[in-house]
Chain A
Amino acid sequence: AQTVTQSQPEMSVQEAETVTLSCTYDTSESDYYLFWYKQPPSRQMILVIRQEAYKQQNATENRFSVNFQKAAKSFSLKISDSQLGDAAMYFCANGGRNQFYFGTGTSLTVIP
């Protein structure tokens, strides 16, 4: 069975500082993708960043970057220069041939 584990239910970070959210996964597929989604209090699900498993280079989107360790099946999200608007629930997801598998989420608080 495919699983995604987010071991940090809650995290906090000072504004302008850097925070890293952890995610590990298990999959039997050879071709897969990994994603981080953000869910603010508005309940919208917003794609933050994606990583193709066949690419060794870590994905980066402005202040968001990932550390993808394929052998360890680890996919962490780093948020640099944290802003108040980054406060949200963050979900890691593993996308296989037809389905996504989501972790249980990490609630991020940004302290002014």
Chain B
Amino acid sequence: DAGITQSPRHKVTETGTPVTLRCHQTENHRYMYWYRQDPGHGLRLIHYSYGVKDTDKGEVSDGYSVSRSKTEDFLLTLESATSSQTSVYFCAIADRGNQPQHFGDGTRLSIL
């Protein structure tokens, strides 16, 4: 299995609080991605990174920010969480942009 660790695995928080999810990889892959998975929508891309400090928006980026200061870490931040951001969040990595992505185990985030 690809070395991808997401933390935390589960989190419950309140509306309006900041939340940071972490993705850590040991594969030295260039590309890292954050998705959210919701029933009826499949996986939707939030943000992705194609190198250290190089990031770009995905389909559903509003309300989210990311940072990548090291190759191995990609952080997803919800500055002020809302109930609509309750979801399962997946991190993925890839060696190149069009190559198979390998996924972490997901983080279940509940915002009350």
Contact flags B76-112 to A (C-beta < 8 A → 1, else 0): 0000000000001010100001111111011000000
Interface residues of B, count at CB 8 A: 25
Residues of B within 8 A of A43 (CB): 88, 105-106
Residue of A nearest to B31 (CB): A98
A96 to B59, CA, bound (A): 14
Q: Please report the C-alpha to C-alpha distance between residue A13 and residue B97 in the assembled complex, in whole angstroms.
A: 34
- Please report the C-alpha to C-alpha distance between residue A32 and residue B96 in the assembled complex, in whole angstroms: 12
Chain B residues, Cβ within 8 Å of A32:
98
**Residues A50 and B100 in contact, CB atoms below 8 Å apart:** yes
Interface residues on A, range: 20 to 34
In the complex the two chains form, is B45's CB within 8 Å of A99's CB? yes
Q: Is the CB of A98 within 8 A of B48?
A: yes
**A31 interfacial by beta-carbon distance below 8 Å:** yes
Secondary structure type dominating chain A contacts: loop
CA distance A32 to B97 in the complex (A): 10
In the complex, what's the smallest C-beta–C-beta distance from B59 to chain A, in angstroms?
8
Which residues from A are CB-within-8-Å of B35?
Answer: 102
Closest to A105 in B: B42
Q: Which one, B41, B42, B88, B98, contacts A95 given CB within 8 A?
A: B98
Q: Which residues of B contact A91 (CB under 8 A)?
A: 42-43
Interface: B56 (CB within 8 A): yes
Mark contacts of B33-74 with chain A using CB atoms, 8 A cut-off: 1 yes-contact digit, 0 otherwise.
101000011111100101000001010000000000000000
Cβ distance B5 to chain A, nearest Cβ, rounded Å: 14
Q: A33-B98, A95-B99 are in contact. Are A100 and B45 (CB under 8 A)?
A: yes
B103 touches A102 (CB 8 A): no
**CB atoms of A99 and B97 under 8 A apart:** yes
**8 Å CB interface, A85-112 against B:** 91, 95-105
Pair B56/A98 contact, Cβ less than 8 Å: yes
- The 9 A-B pairs at the shortest CB distance, nearest first, are namely A45-B103, A98-B97, A104-B42, A102-B43, A102-B42, A95-B98, A47-B100, A33-B98, A105-B42
